[in-house]
Amino acid sequence: MQKPYFLLLLAFATLLSSCGSSEPESSEIALNDEPSIVMRDINEIREDGYLTAIAIYNSTSYFLYKGEPLGFEYELLSELAKELKLELRIRVAEDIDDLFTMLNNGEGDIIAYGLSITESRKKLINFTEPHYVTHQALVQRKPDNWRSLPGYKLDDKLIDDPLELIDKTVHVRRNSSYYERLQNLAKEVGGNIDIQTVSGDKTTDEIIKMVVDGEIDYTVSDYNIAALNQTYYPILDVETQISFSQQIAWGVRKNSPLLLQAVNMWLKKIKQKSSYRVLYNKYFKNRKSYQRRIKSDFYSKNSGKISQYDEIIKKHAAPLGWDWRLLSSLIYQESRFEPQATSWAGAGGLMQIMPSTAQDLGLKDISHPDQNIQAGSIYLKKLWNNWKKIPDSVQRTKFVMASYNCGLGHVRDAQRLASAFGENPLLWDDNVEDYILKLSSREYYTNPVVRYGFVRGLEPYLYVKEIFLRYDHYKKFIPLAEPKKPAIASQ
């Protein structure tokens, strides 16, 4: 639908951009041109043992679906952290306008969000190797009767050339590449484009939804994001191109050259693998998967639910004294919320209870969600009472979880080993967890203080870590309690 002379306009824009100007390229520089106030490169990051990424909560980058954290950025970050042998921590930016300030303030080590590489942003951060290439597209709403209109009449109702944006109002976030592009486009077409800004806490998906709902007439989006939204909202038109192709990348602080080098080496390597293309297609090409996700009650943006068992979990987490989201994370670890799940050892149900334990707890139907979670919670409470000497509640919870996974006796063995080697037996982190790992080695499981012998220590070690990492995701996406509804005044 793009008219041929648009390419001439873009070529002219390139000529204009090469001319000097005393004004900043956009207000983005004035708002966010802050020097880095921390010195934290790859050596400091490795010393701490974790990589902190600043991410955005949206339908493609980072989100929760059926109890599992997912997203293009999230999955890539997980691979990057694995490559660098670091623990991944994610900080969600509540306001997209704050990304650069958060990075340079040291609130994260890397911006893991699809940033267009622009000259103004290069003054603020260093960009990584690009992930992919896209272009900016105008997002507009078709008329309500669009399905019954012949093609030529539908074309007449839509903007199909950037020149037609003169004197039109377009809504975008101020500190976005879209705002900058519209400013330049107004100069290129020789007319006024009324650029209205929306709050930085609104994602591109949410602004697109404003077009769908008729709250605004036009916005701008990267084409791959716009095209995905169009699959769910066919009333959208996203085919009017308003920019040349643009590279999309992540960003690091200017004083983190070694981190940049490490990330770029990894990116060059992973982009040559077929798994990278599969991952891109999963989030930006697989439209059926996107539609299923967006429609689901268990896509966290829709309802704030983790699973269909939330209410049951809340009921049984209360007497246990746990945050229901933590118990949910444990249940996901055990069964991925599949009540019919069974293990090779015969454990079954949502909390994977062994038949002997089920009998002791009076559990008659191991696959019944309510009965299974009730029995599992009672068993966790019993384990909790076995660890009364652990003063810190978080550490005590980790001992309980490890005991739930591999048995109380093996965790007691790890505790005795830790004590024998001069470590703190009342701390799980970096103390007893190290010795549960060692119990798979003959040198340690034959130690005189060990009573229960060999155990595959990697399982409880990862079990505890993964539950708490997932719980951290749940806390970002899911409120602890539903907001109270205002009382209805009596008539």
Residues with catalytic annotation? 334
CA 488 vs CA 92, 481, 483, 485: distances in Å: 35, 20, 15, 9
The closest alpha carbon to 246, from 327, 338, 180, belongs to 180
Phi/psi at 388 (5° precision)? -65, -25
How far is the C-alpha of 75 from the C-alpha of 78, rounded, in Å? 5
Q: Residue 50 gets which letter from DSSP?
A: E
Q: Tokens 């090779």 belong to which residue?
A: 344
Token representation of residue 12: 């002219």
CA 432 vs CA 386, 417, 419, 427, 484: distances in Å: 16, 8, 9, 6, 41
The closest alpha carbon to 324, from 335, 312, 336, 334, belongs to 312
Token representation of residue 305: 């639910």
Contact between 66 and 296 (Cβ < 8 Å): yes
The alpha carbon dihedral of 247, 250, 256, 261 has a sign of negative
Q: How many residues are there in the chain?
A: 491
The closest alpha carbon to 461, from 408, 419, 401, 421, belongs to 401
* DSSP count for the chain of H helices, then E strands: 23, 11
Contact between 252 and 128 (Cβ < 8 Å): yes
How far is the C-alpha of 317 from the C-alpha of 334, rounded, in Å? 16
Token representation of residue 150: 């012949």
The closest alpha carbon to 237, from 148, 154, 117, 150, belongs to 154
